[in-house]
Amino acid sequence: MDIIKILTEEFQVREEQAQNVVALLDDGKTVPFIARYRKEMHGALDDQTIRRMALRLQALRNLVERKEEVRTAIENKGAMTEEISKALDAAMTMVEVEDIYRPYKEKRRTRGSVAREKGLTPLADLLLAQEQTTDPEQAAAAYVSEEKDVPDVQAALQGAMDIIAEDISDNARIRTEMRDLYQRFGTLTCTAADEEAAEGVYKNYAEFECLLPRLQGHQILALNRGEKEEALKINITVSDGLAEQICCKPYVKNKSRCGELVRLAACDSCKRLIVPSIIREVRNALFEDASAKAIRVFASNLGQLLMQPPLKNTVTLGLDPAYRTGCKLAVVDATGKVLDTGVIYPTPPHNKIAEANRKVTELVNKYNIEAVSIGNGTASRESESFIADLLPTLSHKVSYMVVSEAGASVYSASELAAEEFPEYDVALRSAVSIARRLQDPLAELVKIDPKAIGVGQYQHDMPPKELQTALDGVVEECVNAVGVDVNTASAPLLSHIAGISPAVAKNIVRYREENGAFDNRRQLLKVPKLGPKAFEQCAGFLRIPGGTSPLDNTAVHPESYAAAEKLLAHFGFRLEDAAAGKLSGLAESVKKAGKSTLAKELDIGSYTLDDMVSELQKPGRDPRDLLPPPLLRSGNVMEIKDLTPGMELMGTVRNIVDFGCFVDIGVHEDGLVHISQICDRYIKHPLEAVKVGDVVKVWVLDVDVKRSRISLTMVKDGKKNRNRR
């Protein structure tokens, strides 16, 4: 198998690009490092493409390994033929390989294997020959044996038919045709298990029918979950006779008495052995495809959430809502350091609103708080109303935002939180986390298991390993895209930097605490277990503001420092000019001098030169600063009963699923914008038009107060996109 050729074709890249990516991965280079600092080798492929290539590379190598295992197993049985060898060479999927291996696998005792043990294989061969003159009963009489537990002619014939049925079920070509039949023409029908299920959460699937090729990913996942919960009953069928025809055609030669027995064996093989197995395979394939798509959506949502713009240089009050136990407060300064904590009781059953007003007002005035971050959990609506009523009475402008507290309780009860805030109880740690989520979503959310953040669909039904791999990759991409200040970053944040393990991340923090702030990147080599290889991977993603070299506060890699200094000197600049932001004309100067000529003179590639110029002009830049700021509120809180059709509102996209997106419009429940209402053009998926964190204008379509459901549109006239199927 030519893996490089396959990667080249599947990813539409040049063979040289694929070879270099594989070589870099095999050399232990991380995806962020390859994507950022080896662009000349792979032609500036983005990190997501490189990551997908890495996963595909591993899958192809697993396939090659499995082929060799199967080849060896068949050879050891003395059954290898040129035809089988060629079939193995041509196989491009694990399913094809397993179909080839199926006849040679060690099987548990089956009806067919028992019949073989009784010596009925010659009789099966005789039936398969289907000679017109053969009398099957007369032929079977020779195999009747009390000793072999073949009591009569019918038992002998049945045993022979069982052998034929099993051989047919092991036929790779038949299984391929059958699989294709069900995948292309299979119909899924679903009914509710009982009346309660018919009116419950699976109401839409109580009487459901759909061709398999038309099933949507979210439907497949919902159907599987409903079946697992025993609320739904699912069946997959094809038109009568088609499956039997596939099994009979290669084996039934005529309408002789033997031919009729072979036909019965083929139909038995189809119904008892092949179809149940193929249906399982097809359903597994549907689930795998739906899961892969759902994981991609989850990963995209997570990336967008992590890359939401931070609320910088703002003292923030975090409020973790609650009823009986009171709302926990935490004041954090602009760097995330905790300044004060407390508890107020403005919600039922206490309703101590006046006392809560005094407490919050004191904190706002004492610490000059400018923003309040409210968790969206229990008692969130009442807490939001309390804050919204209080803000107009304060001496200076304060805004608020309701943030997702998904995973906050998991973090606050973790060992990590206990190490970070040993002096606070679990609830106060949650309030700190909620405040920091508004200040810097990336730095705070990396402390939480991505699966607990809740920006996907059916994430608890996904294959855990694949989901974790994808989400970990997203976190790594986001952290490295932004870069981290090595002198302030927490160990969890540092552990997501390319080349840095959790243990090394802790060593960096410990070294910093014992020796003071890092002055330059080279000092990192003094950190225990951070050797030259790890330094090569991580150095470009770690920032040192105010260090001895302005280059240490950029994404310019230390391996290119000499080229950067030479570039600046070429145009009469100094490193200090970069730190002072005085290089605004550098890009134009490079263009006039000729990029390719200059790159050759500096002994670097054109991609590296472009990145270098960009970094030198804006040292320490944060890509999140280019995004619209978070939508802060300061007015009165609306409730769902206040909404009316046609009302225009501004909201924030909180989650994206296959069938639409959920938008926070300032009431307790998020509204759903169906995919047909996202824009006035046809889109296959909501991610083509919106992303998590987008601030969007919406109009209310419908409100169901009883079921707490809000339908919204992003198309002004509210008309559905007519191109939606």
CATH number at residue 402: 3.30.420.140
Same domain, 520 and 434: no
From the number of C-beta atoms within 10 Å of its C-beta (0-12, 13-18, 19+), residue 484 rates as buried
Inform me whether the pLDDT recorded for 725 exceeds 50. Answer: no
Residue 142: give its domain's CATH number.
Answer: 1.10.3500.10
Angle at 634 (CA atoms; ends 630, 636), nearest 5 degrees: 130
What are the structure tokens assigned to 502, written together? 């959790």
Residue 155 lies in a domain: yes
Same domain membership, residue 272 and residue 417: no
Structure tokens at 464: 């855990």
Model pLDDT for residues 530-564, shown as the tens digit of each residue: 999 999 999 999 999 989 999 999 999 999 999 99
Q: Which pLDDT belongs to residue 198?
A: 80
* Domain co-membership, 323 together with 460: yes
Q: How many domains does the chain have?
A: 5
Single out the residue of 246, 245, 79 nearest to residue 172, CA to CA.
Answer: 246
What three-state secondary structure class fits 65? helix
Give φ, ψ of 443 to 5 degrees.
-60, -30
Residues 567 and 709 grouped into a single domain: no
Q: What are phi and psi of 304, to 5 degrees?
A: -65, -35
pLDDT at 124: 96
Mark whether 374 and 445 lie in a shared domain: yes
What count of Cα atoms within 13 Å lies in the side-chain half-sphere of residue 133?
A: 0
- Residue 103 buriedness (CB in 10 A; 0-12 / 13-18 / 19+): middle
For 332-386, write each residue's pLDDT tens digit: 999 889 999 999 999 999 999 999 999 999 999 999 999 999 998 888 888 989 9
Burial of 7 from C-beta contacts in 10 A (0-12 / 13-18 / 19+): buried
> Are residues 462 and 445 part of one domain?
yes
Strand partners, 377: none
How far apart are alpha carbons 134 and 533 in whole angstroms?
76
Average pLDDT over residues 199-203: 85
What does the pLDDT read at residue 261? 97
Is 77 in the same domain as 172?
Answer: no
State the DSSP string of 571-607. TT--HHHHHTT--TTHHHHHHHH-HHHHHHHHTS-HH
Instruction: Supply 582's token pair.
Output: 């005085």
Say whether both 118 and 263 belong to one domain.
yes
Burial of residue 109, with CB atoms counted within 10 A of its CB: 0-12 exposed, 13-18 middle, 19 or more buried? exposed
Environment class of 550 (CB within 10 Å of its CB; exposed 0-12, middle 13-18, buried 19+) = buried
**pLDDT tier at 723 (50, 70, 90 boundaries)?**
very low
- Domain residues for the domain of 533 are 509-626
Question: What is the distance between the alpha carbons of residues 565 and 567, in angstroms, rounded to a whole number?
Answer: 5
Q: What is the pLDDT of residues 474-530, one digit of tens each?
A: 999 999 999 999 999 999 999 999 999 999 999 999 999 999 999 999 999 999 999
> Is residue 257 located within the same domain as residue 277?
yes
- Residue 288 and residue 17: Cα distance in Å, rounded? 29
Of the ranges 191-200, 427-436, 711-720, which is most confident? Answer: 427-436
